[in-house]
A and B are shown apart, each in its own frame.
Chain A
Amino acid sequence: MADALQLQKRKRLSTTLILFLALVAMVSVFAVLSKDFYSFLNLSAMLTNISFSGIVAGTLTFILITGGLDISIGGNIALTSCLVAYLFNLEKPVPAWALVPIALGLGAAIGAFNGLFITRLDLNPIITTLGTMAVVRGLGYVLTKSRSILIMEGVTGFIGRTVIPGIQIPIPLILLILTFVILYFLLGHSKFGRKVYIIGANQAAARVSGIRVNRVKFILYLMSGVAASVSGLILTGQTAVGMPQHANGVELDVITAVLLGGTALSGGKGSILGTLAGVLILGVLYNGFTMIGFKYVHIRVFQGIILILIVALYELREKKRY
Chain B
Amino acid sequence: MDNILSLTDVKVYFQVRKGFFGSSDIRAVDGVSLEIRNGETMAIVGESGSGKTTLGRVALRLLEPTSGSIVFQGKDISHASEGSLGWLRRQAQPIFQDPYSSIDTFMNVHQIIEEPLVIHKIGTSEERRETVKKSLRDVRLTPEDDFIRKYPHQLSGGQRQRVSMARALVLEPKFIVADEPVSMIDASSRAEILFLLKELQGSKGISFLYITHDIATARYFADRIAVMYLGRLVEVGLPRQIIEDPLHPYTKALIEAVPEADPKNRLRERKVIPGEPASPTDIPSGCRFHPRCEYAIKGKCERDDTYLQEEKPDHFVACHLY
A binds B: no
